[in-house]
A = this chain, B = another copy of it.
C-alpha cells in the first residue's frame, strides 16, 4: 500500500522519516529494552527525551530564557479556559474575532470576565483580517487575544497588534514552526501539536515568566500555569509518546535548516497552490490576498456538485482529506510543514486535469 498525499487540517501528515524512525524504535528504544510508550516519565531515558524535545523547540523558535515551555494535555480548547483562569486579574480582556476558534475562545473567556471584541470579520465570513486601531484597545486589559492563523477560513495575521504593556496572547495551533516569529513580542503562545508538531495529545504553552505569578492559589493544580511550570509540566504523567514524536519532528526540522528553511519551502508551496487557483477559471479562493494563510488554502468551484466530484476523484488519485470545513464548503488543502512540495505540484497537476475535463 502506497502512502497518500494527506491534506488533513489536523491531525495531519507527519514527516515520513519521523514515522520510519518511530517505527524502527517502537518495540525497543535504544538500549532501554522497552518502548518509549512503556517508560516511566520519571526514568532517565524519558527525562532525556523530554529535555531534548524542549531544547530543540527553544533552539528552533529562539525562545528567550525568560519564557517557560509547558507541555500539557487537552488541546487549544482547554487553553481557551486556562488563559482567562490564569491571566485574569482585572477580569478584562480584548479579543479578535477572526474565525471559528477565535470565536470559541471568546465564548470561553466570557465565562470568566468582561470581554471586548476589538474587531471581527464574522459578517464577511471571516475572509480577511480586520485592520486595528490601538485607540480602541482596553488600556487595563489583562491580555489581548488573537489567533495567528485561522485553520478553517485560511487567513493569517502578517502584522501584530500594538498592545503596549498589555500581553499579547496567541493561538498558534495551525502555524507554529511554519515561519520565523519573534517570541519576545508575545506574553503567551499556545498550540495544539497535531498540525505542525506531533500527533494529537500534547499542547504547547510558551509563557513569559512574569505572567506565571498571576495564577491564583485556588486553581485546580492541573489548570495552574504556575504549578505546571514549577514542576516542569511533570505534575502528573505527561503525554509521553506524543512528546517523543515531537522531538523527532523537531530534529527533522533542524536537519532541514530550521524555521527559515521551512518558511521558504512553505511560501513556495503556498505560492504554487494560490497561483494555480488564481490562474484557474474553475477554482477560486475567497480570502483577501494580503491575509492568505500559507498553511490552509480553501478553494471552491462555486458548484457544490462539482466540488464533491473533485473531492471524490482527488481521493481516488491519492489526494485525501481535501473536503473543506462544513462552514466554508468546497475544498481545503492544509499544507503544513510535513507536506512536501511534490504533493503540491501533484495536486496542482490534478486540478488542471480536472478543470480541463470539466469545462
List chain A positions with a Cβ less than 8 A from chain B: 1-4, 6, 8-14, 16, 19-20, 22-23, 26-28, 30-35, 37-41, 43, 73-78, 80-81, 85, 108, 111, 192, 194, 199-202, 218-223, 235-242, 245, 318, 320-321
Contacts of A16 in B (CB 8 A): 27
Give the docked Cα–Cα distance between A240 and B200 (Å).
Answer: 6
Pick from B37, B77, B218: contact of A221, CB under 8 Å: B77
A selection of 16 A-B contacts at a CB cut-off of 8 Å is A3-B34, A11-B237, A11-B240, A22-B26, A38-B199, A40-B321, A43-B321, A73-B75, A77-B222, A77-B235, A77-B236, A108-B220, A200-B237, A200-B239, A200-B240, A201-B240
A interface: dominant SS:
loop
Contacts of A19 in B (CB 8 A): 26-27, 35, 37
Contacts of A38 in B (CB 8 A): 6, 8, 11-14, 199
Pick from B6, B37, B220, B245: contact of A78, CB under 8 Å: B220
Question: In this complex, what residue of B is CB-closest to A37?
Answer: B199
Contacts of A235 in B (CB 8 A): 77
Task: Say whether, besides A41-B200, A200-B41, A108 and B26 are in contact (CB < 8 Å).
Answer: no
Contacts of A39 in B (CB 8 A): 8, 11
Task: Say whether, besides A3-B33, A34-B13, A239 and B80 are in contact (CB < 8 Å).
Answer: no
Give the docked Cα–Cα distance between A4 and B26 (Å).
Answer: 14
Q: How close is A247's CB to chain B, nearest CB, in angstroms?
A: 14
Contacts of A202 in B (CB 8 A): 201
Question: In this complex, what residue of B is CB-closest to A10?
Answer: B237
Q: How close is A55's CB to chain B, nearest CB, in angstroms?
A: 21
Q: A318–B199 contact, CB under 8 A?
A: no
Give the docked Cα–Cα distance between A194 and B221 (Å).
Answer: 20
Question: In this complex, what residue of B is CB-closest to A108?
Answer: B220
Give the docked Cα–Cα distance between A202 and B1 (Å).
Answer: 29
Q: How close is A336's CB to chain B, nearest CB, in angstroms?
A: 10
* Shortest beta-carbon contacts, A-B, top 5: A81-B220, A4-B33, A73-B73, A201-B239, A37-B199
Contacts of A81 in B (CB 8 A): 220-223
Contacts of A237 in B (CB 8 A): 10-11, 75, 192, 194, 200
Give the docked Cα–Cα distance between A220 and B200 (Å).
Answer: 20
